[in-house]
């Protein structure tokens, strides 16, 4: 059993079976944890692209198909809060709804 290693560009949040999610974000490198008590949840903190297709209507009631490409990354200091409130798949849950709303408002106001 090897100690968990956090790769470059990644951060880890420690889940403790007795105390829950720790507020400390662990940086890159090798770290020692208590086996079966503590578990690392590793997040990728590098900027990553994502394409989100949106179908929206313009002012003159025509359908507009747009694909938005965004670069995103989590705020490192907020990783424990992101994990407890949203989960590991925060990008799947948050990004589509935010980008859809913003794109719809931009298309309606400019088209």
- Beta strands (DSSP E) in the chain are 5-6, 10-16, 20-26, 29-30, 38-44, 48-57, 63-72
Higher-pLDDT residue of 81 and 57 is 81
pTM: 0.78
Average pLDDT over residues 79-101: 91
φ, ψ of residue 90 to 5 degrees: the values are: -60, -35
pLDDT number for residue 2: 57
Q: pLDDT digits over 8-35, tens only?
A: 999 999 999 999 999 999 999 988 888 8
Is pLDDT at 78 greater than 80 in this prediction? Answer: yes
**CA end-to-end span of the chain:** 59
Question: pLDDT-based confidence at 100, cuts 50/70/90?
Answer: confident
Mean pLDDT of all residues in the chain?
A: 88
């Amino acid at each position: 059993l090897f100690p968990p290693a956090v790769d470059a560009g990644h951060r880890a949040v420690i889940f403790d079976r007795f105390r829950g999610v720790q507020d400390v974000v662990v940086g890159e490198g090798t770290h020692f944890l208590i086996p079966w008590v503590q578990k690392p949840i590793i997040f990728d903190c590098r900027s990553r692209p994502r394409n989100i297709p949106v179908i929206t209507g313009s002012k003159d009631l025509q359908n507009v198909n747009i694909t938005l490409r965004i670069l995103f990354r989590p705020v490192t200091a907020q990783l424990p809060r992101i994990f407890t409130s949203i989960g590991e798949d925060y990008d799947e849950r948050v990004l589509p709804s935010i980008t859809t709303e913003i794109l719809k408002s931009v298309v309606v106001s400019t088209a």
